[in-house]
Structure 1
Amino acid sequence: METFNIPATPSLMKEFLRQMGGTAVIDGGLATVLELHGADLNDPLWSAKCLLTSPHLIRSVHLDYLEAGADIIITASYQATIQGFEAKGFSREQSENLLKKSVDIALEARRIYYERWSKSSSGGTGDGRILKNRPILVAASVGSYGAYLADGSEYSGCYGEAMTVNALKEFHRRRVQVLAEAGPDIIAFETVPNKIEAQAFAELLEEEHIKIPAWLTFNSKDGVNVVSGDSLLQCASIAESCKQVVAVGINCTPPRFIHDLILAIKKVLGFFFFLLFC
């Protein structure tokens, strides 16, 4: 079985993209495909519910995306939080193990994919991209505080005046530690709706001396600002100020805004930029 030794440092994305020829494909919506497989996600945990009920479906979806040519797969931890699992009656230890499980499943899917290709005589599908020996990254998803609330506030960023940078750091701290220790290649902070949460993530990465790189993606509904009304460029600059952050991107944003948002961010950022949207 052939795998890749790409150092888990801020230079990871540079080396990864070099090996990929400058571009990489990230997988698609996890929850959507889980539902196509019959999963019932009507729950505050959303896709993370499958960590409890049907982890095999998560692994299957990861494999589907790898077979389709995804170069990066994102774990089923977007809405998985220690606090959310504890609200379901799980202990702190059990909750942390469920977070770790989300990474383990993705790592297992990657291993299975490599093993399948190592046994294949063809070594590819003929499209020039889906090759057995291509590098594949596992990104550990960290959703916003609003995702935990499960009330849609990750699409408004309105957390109230009581929610401060320090409060957000304490909410996310152990979750980020556990996910980082589980062995992903990168941490994906997704759907960040305001600058205080961007600041919280940037500070956490530095305070906890996280050894692997991260990216932050923001969402916008006007093509100029993040959903809270904070300046997208300010949020991107906060991300860039953290040495562990290697990419900034857009997700959950109307496609008509994507092009202009890319151009705006490229003017202020001096590093890699990922484009995500759904």
Structure 2
Amino acid sequence: MTLRDLLQHQVVVLDGAISTELEKHGVETSNQLWGALALDCAQDAVRAVHRAYRQAGAQVLTTNTYQATVPGFMAAGFSADDARALISRGATLAQDAVLAEPNGSETGSTLVAGSLGPYGAYLADGSEYTGAYQLSTEEFQEFHRPRVQALLAAGLTLFAVETQPRLDEVQAVLALLEELAPQAQAWVSFQLRDTSTLADGTPLADAVDWVDEWAAEHSVLVAVGVNCVAPEVLTPALTLMGSRTNLPLACYPNSGDTYHAQTKTWTAASSSARFTAFVEDWLELGVRLMGGCCRTAPADTAQIRRSLM
């Protein structure tokens, strides 16, 4: 069953943060590749994280490839061929987690989505939160093409075009997906500056209008949403989006924890401020694809699942 099929019948539960969970397994993520380096040196930990999310009720597992790109791996000393192999491994490790669970488990069918982070994530300087970079359509596609090809080669036909701060990059990636795999499906999830603006300053309304028009003529896109933002941003953003498209909405915010830059420490959100406290509000706004992003965990996935019962 495809994601489009599932969305026609139910709210679909996504997984949550990968790097945070890898750290709990002792994996070092403070490097240019973040958790993607685990595809080389901590494969068992990656499998374990995927398995934990599936057991918690996730119906879609996203690959550990958000930060995994050929240029990124090559900058870390890998060959281009090795980089492509590691990206493909990102798919197989998630697939392993699905195969490890018996058919008929309480989570039912589980899909695997290839995570396609933005060019700004490769820069590893926070650019995915500002969109402060500029490439041509051809340059964006040249950057993303090897990763898409590697994930396709591993058998994936579902993609998460996520944490996207720029509409022009989304346009380039969707065109690339349609070129390489017209049978594929994808959702697009934007990164926001505020409740009505993409990170690069593009009005959210303009981005949703373009996505809605494109989806009417192309079969690749199945949902649009927002991820990697504070929970309080979502309700007004989703309200705006729902007023401009009939596409299923997706949301997977950050946990709600507060980061203190001066001390480089976190304060955990109270139960009333954690993102899971707002699940029912977002469902009422038309969200059909829901999960968590930074500092979320399998326990949050299980909480979302319980909220749907």
Shift in Å, 1:95: 1.0
Work out whether residues 140 and 169 of structure 2, in 8 Å CA contact, stay in contact via their aligned partners in 1: yes
Distance 1:182 1:269 in 2: 32
Q: Are the counterparts in 1 of residues 128 and 165 from structure 2 also a CA contact under 8 Å? A: yes
Alignment equivalent of 1:155, drawn from 129, 132, 137? 129
Output the CA distance in 2 between the equivalents of 1:174 and 1:193: 21
Contact 2:177 2:184 in 1 (8 A): no
User: TM-score if structure 2 supplies the norm length?
Assistant: 0.77
> Does 2:25 match 1:37?
yes
Note if contact 2:193-2:200 (Cα within 8 Å) is conserved in structure 1: no
Match of 2:146 in 1: 174
1:215 equivalenced with 2:187 (yes/no) = yes
Q: Is the 8 A contact 1:198 1:238 kept in 2?
A: no
Give matches, 1:197-276, under 5 Å.
197-240=169-212, 241-242=214-215, 243=218, 244-276=220-252
1:192 to 153, 164, 173: 164
Task: Give the TM-score normalised by structure 1.
Answer: 0.85
2-structure distance, mates of 1:96, 1:229: 33
SS at 1:113 equivalent? coil
Separation in 1, partners of 2:154, 2:243: 35
Is the Cα–Cα contact under 8 Å of residues 217 and 251 in structure 1 kept in the other structure?
yes
Alignment gaps of 5+ in structure 1:
1-5, 7-11, 124-130
- Check conservation: 1:50, 1:58, Cα contact below 8 A: yes
Long gaps (5+) in structure 2: 255-309
Aligned residues: 250
Q: Once structures 1 and 2 are overlaid, which stretch shifts more, 231-240 or 35-44?
A: 231-240
Query: How big is each residue's C-alpha offset from its partner over 1:26-70, in whole Å with a ceiling of 9 and x where there is no partner?
Result: 111111111111110011111101001101100000111111111
Match of 1:58 in 2: 46
Question: Aligned partners of 1:38, 1:25: CA distance in 2, in Å?
Answer: 27
Contact 2:227/2:251 (CA < 8 Å) preserved in 1? yes
Contact preservation (8 Å) 1:180, 1:210: no
Whichever residue aligns with residue 203 of structure 1, its letter is: A
Please state if 1:138 is matched with 2:138: no
The runs of at least 4 consecutive aligned structure 1 residues that moved more than 4 Å come to none
Give the counterpart letter for 1:46 in structure 2: W
Could you tell me how far apart the structure 2 residues matched to 1:185 and 1:227 are? Answer: 28
The one-letter amino acid paired with 1:253 is V
Taking only the aligned residue pairs, the percentage that are identical comes to 34
Structure 2 CA distance, aligned partners of 1:212 and 1:199? 16
SS at match of 1:274: strand
Deviation at 1:180, TM superposition (A): 2.2
Q: Report the RMSD for the aligned CA atoms in angstroms.
A: 1.6
Work out whether 1:78 is the aligned partner of 2:66.
Answer: yes
